[in-house]
Amino acid sequence: MRPINNIVDVSNYVMLELGQPNHAFDWDVLRRRAETYNPGGPVRIITRLAQPGETLQTLDDEVRQLPPSAILVTDPQSALSIGGIMGGASSEVSESSRSVLIEAAAWNFINIRQTATALKLSSEAGYRFSRGVHPSQAMPGALRAAHLIQRLAGGVIARDVYDYYPRPPETITLTLTPADVTRLLGMELERDTIRTYLERLDFTCEAADGDALRVTVPDHRLDISADPVAGRSDLVEEIARMVGYDKIPETELSDVLPPQRNNTALEREEKLRDLLVEAGLQEVITYRLTTPQAEARLRAGSPPAETPPYVTLINPSSSERVAMRRSLLNSVLEIAAANSRFQDSIQLFEIGHVYLPVEGESLPEEQLRLAVVMTGPREAPAWQGSDTAPVDFYDLKGVIESVLDGLHIGGATYLPAEQPGFFPGRTARLQVDGQAVGVLGELHPTVVAAYELPEGVPVLAAELDANLLLRHMVEDYRVQPVPRFPAVQQDIAVVVDEALPAAELEAAIREGGGPLLADVRLFDIYRGEQIGPGKKSMAYNLWFQSPDKTLTDKIVAKQQARLVKHLERKLGAKLRS
């Protein structure tokens, strides 16, 4: 806001005084322009939308390409100003001006926001119009400016006032009772006291049925809702301000409580979040806006593919936030890359939505996803010694398994998979009861380089369908009592075909171990000349336990022999001597 001359100063003063922006045009300039399109006739002022390719030099001497949403104040010759934002240089009031035209208007606040954002142009007038100015303020603002110019600049006010007001908004009238005030504030006020407070704020109050008041809202109060319920709350808020918040007593709620219902979806999501934190991961919350180019880094090094459709923003806040994300993993990788400059160990997760356009639908499909990123040493260096080897696929798989255990989800399998952006042979697809939940594995070095993550260190990542995962969560589950008798541990190593998945072998061990087999854990895999080509040796810890007696070596040996025969019969496995 600059003090240019007395006319501009008056315009700015009225805007600050009444909240109604206005604009002064050089009348003589408008009159000369009228001779070109209407010789001897009156000046014509028009409002219209900008035409394609139309430009205007504004008061800041910038020539601006006008967006289609811009509402212009024009004459038949060309544009004079951008309505509600900034005037044009061609009709600017200068030191040589002798006659001025004062224009005060009301503009759609959404249109003003869109135009100001598209032009990257901010002004005091645009700031106010973008938040809403009641149309009734236009006439008082114009008359106030005219009287100040008359008094301070020695002007003469023309008799003609042109007022085009085709759709005045309806007056807001609300009904308020002392009982409404007591219910919301917790204090009793007389009707006359309530009336006094509201009238001090320019509300008009009339007696209605019983002890009710019929309150008419002043037109400049755009913050008072016309809805009966919300409007009463707005009036009570005004009364609370007049009473003073410090004078409102502390009282217990005496109103009827709404019915309490569980939010099952949120509770399950919070359970998943807690399990991930217990596993040692840190949660991040990222923007849901991105760019297709940013997410294309997930396919770095993969064969070119057509860019999938995105939900794009008409009016993005920045060039980095132009579309709704399709991948949650990209968001977490960006945070991991930013933090990798300051620390070596990174273990992050996020639970959030992605937005997938649906053909023929106006709204996208919102899917809840879980993304995990892990890289760096397994443990921090310590003077007592620690495992500082980098995390690998099995660390990530262990996190996923701990989450599945915490959610009491059974029937999970891990199948070899190929996924763009992931390292071949180090990627698995998680399935629960035969349904694909997501992918986990080591990222390909080209993807790691694309995100500028440290090279030479494995980066593990997973992106899972959280909705599908949580649908398999078991709410009611059976709890096993603490065993009264000790378990007997045995080790077994069997030679199987190289292609046999570990999950299939473990399932066969549990099947053949019978009810006395309490737990199974793989602790070693060996490949070498001693067991022959195309074979591998897998060693397991086995725990046998009975709920009603202590097991003897003889019983355990007999059970283990049955187990070995079962593996030979079902999988062709051989006991490694």
CATH number at residue 539: 3.30.70.380
- Per-residue pLDDT reduced to its tens digit, 465-483: 999 999 999 888 888 888 8
Confidence class for position 314, pLDDT limits 50, 70, 90? confident
Distance, in Å, from the CA atom of 298 to the CA atom of 312, rounded to the nearest integer, reads 19
How many folded domains does the chain comprise?
A: 4
Whether residue 306 is found in the same domain as residue 433: yes
Q: CB count, 10 Å around CB of 161?
A: 11
> Does the pLDDT value for residue 345 go beyond 80?
yes
Cα separation values, 212 from 90, 172, 197, 242, Å: 56, 16, 15, 19
User: In this prediction, what percent of the chain has a pLDDT beyond 90?
Assistant: 67
Question: What per-residue confidence (pLDDT) applies to 545?
Answer: 92
Question: What per-residue confidence (pLDDT) applies to 31?
Answer: 92
Instruction: Please report whether residue 158 resides in a domain.
Output: no
Q: Nearest Cα to 442, choosing from 375, 347, 349, 351? A: 375
Distance, in Å, from the CA atom of 450 to the CA atom of 448, rounded to the nearest integer, reads 5
Question: What per-residue confidence (pLDDT) applies to 307?
Answer: 85
Distance, in Å, from the CA atom of 106 to the CA atom of 119, rounded to the nearest integer, reads 20
Distance, in Å, from the CA atom of 162 to the CA atom of 157, rounded to the nearest integer, reads 13
Which of 105, 120, 153 terminates a domain? The answer is 153
Instruction: Please report whether residue 257 resides in a domain.
Output: no
Q: Which of 163-172, 262-271, 427-436, 456-465 has the lowest mean pLDDT?
A: 163-172
Q: Which of 218-222, 330-334, 430-434 has the lowest mean pLDDT?
A: 218-222
Q: Nearest Cα to 451, choosing from 296, 287, 322, 346? A: 296
User: In this prediction, what percent of the chain has a pLDDT beyond 70?
Assistant: 100
Whether residue 409 is found in the same domain as residue 279: yes
Question: What per-residue confidence (pLDDT) applies to 483?
Answer: 87
Instruction: Please report whether residue 477 resides in a domain.
Output: no
Cα separation values, 566 from 235, 346, 510, 562, 576, Å: 79, 44, 10, 6, 15
> Does the pLDDT value for residue 254 go beyond 80?
no
Whether residue 270 is found in the same domain as residue 187: no
Residue 169 DSSP SS3: coil
> Does the pLDDT value for residue 203 go beyond 90?
yes
Confidence class for position 165, pLDDT limits 50, 70, 90? confident
Which of 124, 153, 182 terminates a domain? The answer is 153
Whether residue 111 is found in the same domain as residue 63: yes
Q: Which of 96-105, 150-159, 170-179 has the lowest mean pLDDT?
A: 150-159
Give the burial class of 507: count Cβ atoms within 10 A of its Cβ; 0-12 exposed, 13-18 middle, 19 or more buried: middle
CATH number at residue 81: 3.50.40.10
List of E strands, 397-480: 412-416, 422-432, 435-443, 459-465
Question: What per-residue confidence (pLDDT) applies to 370?
Answer: 97
Question: What per-residue confidence (pLDDT) applies to 476?
Answer: 85
User: Which residues, 6 or more positions from 170, have their beta carbon under 8 angstroms from its beta carbon?
Assistant: 226
> Does the pLDDT value for residue 253 go beyond 80?
no
CA angle (458 as vertex; 300, 298 as ends), nearest 5: 20
> Does the pLDDT value for residue 86 go beyond 90?
yes
Distance, in Å, from the CA atom of 448 to the CA atom of 373, rounded to the nearest integer, reads 12
| 134 or 335, which is more confident | 335
State the average pLDDT over residues 129-157: 90
> Does the pLDDT value for residue 577 go beyond 80?
no
Two tokens, residue 136: 């009734």
Q: State the DSSP code for 88.
A: B
State the average pLDDT over residues 192-221: 92
| Residue 508, phi then psi, degrees to nearest 5 | -70, -35
Confidence class for position 521, pLDDT limits 50, 70, 90? very high
Whether residue 343 is found in the same domain as residue 374: yes
- Per-residue pLDDT reduced to its tens digit, 405-427: 999 998 888 988 999 999 998 99
Q: How many helices (H) and strands (E) does the chain have?
A: 16, 24
Q: Nearest Cα to 88, choosing from 10, 30, 18? A: 30
| 92 or 315, which is more confident | 92
Residue 200: give the domain boundaries: 173-247
Whether residue 76 is found in the same domain as residue 177: no
Q: CB count, 10 Å around CB of 406?
A: 16
Whether residue 365 is found in the same domain as residue 496: no
Confidence class for position 216, pLDDT limits 50, 70, 90? very high
Strand partners, 536: 496
CATH number at residue 236: 3.30.56.10
> Does the pLDDT value for residue 1 go beyond 80?
no
Instruction: Please report whether residue 253 resides in a domain.
Output: no
> Does the pLDDT value for residue 381 go beyond 90?
no
Cα separation values, 53 from 33, 70, 84, 190, 345, Å: 22, 12, 20, 62, 53
Instruction: Please report whether residue 110 resides in a domain.
Output: yes
Whether residue 445 is found in the same domain as residue 496: no
| Residue 282, phi then psi, degrees to nearest 5 | -110, 135
Instruction: Please report whether residue 220 resides in a domain.
Output: yes
State the average pLDDT over residues 241-264: 86
Whether residue 280 is found in the same domain as residue 186: no
Between the two ends of the chain, the Cα-to-Cα distance in Å is 90
When the pLDDT of each residue in the chain is averaged and rounded to a whole number, the result is: 91
Which of 247, 282, 305 terminates a domain? The answer is 247
Whether residue 293 is found in the same domain as residue 350: yes
Question: What per-residue confidence (pLDDT) applies to 240?
Answer: 94
DSSP, residue by residue, 289-313? EE-HHHHGGGGTTSPP-PPPP--B-
Instruction: Please report whether residue 191 resides in a domain.
Output: yes
DSSP, residue by residue, 60-87? TS-EEEPPTT-EEEE-SSSEEEETTTEE
Distance, in Å, from the CA atom of 255 to the CA atom of 249, rounded to the nearest integer, reads 16
Quick one: CA dihedral 330, 336, 339, 340, positive or negative? negative
- Per-residue pLDDT reduced to its tens digit, 480-513: 888 899 999 999 999 999 888 888 899 899 999 8
Question: What per-residue confidence (pLDDT) applies to 279?
Answer: 94
State the average pLDDT over residues 325-332: 96
CATH number at residue 304: 3.30.930.10
Cα separation values, 160 from 156, 163, 199, 481, Å: 12, 10, 34, 94
Whether residue 144 is found in the same domain as residue 37: yes
> Does the pLDDT value for residue 177 go beyond 80?
yes
Confidence class for position 83, pLDDT limits 50, 70, 90? very high
- Per-residue pLDDT reduced to its tens digit, 49-68: 999 999 999 998 899 999 99
> Does the pLDDT value for residue 255 go beyond 80?
no
Question: What per-residue confidence (pLDDT) applies to 286?
Answer: 96
Instruction: Please report whether residue 556 resides in a domain.
Output: yes
- What amino acid occupies position 17? E
Distance, in Å, from the CA atom of 19 to the CA atom of 218, rounded to the nearest integer, reads 15
Q: Are 333 and 373 in contact (CB under 8 A)?
A: yes
Whether residue 59 is found in the same domain as residue 208: no
| pTM for the predicted model, two decimal places | 0.65
Say how many CA atoms lie within 13 Å of 51 toward its Cβ.
Answer: 6
State the average pLDDT over residues 374-387: 87
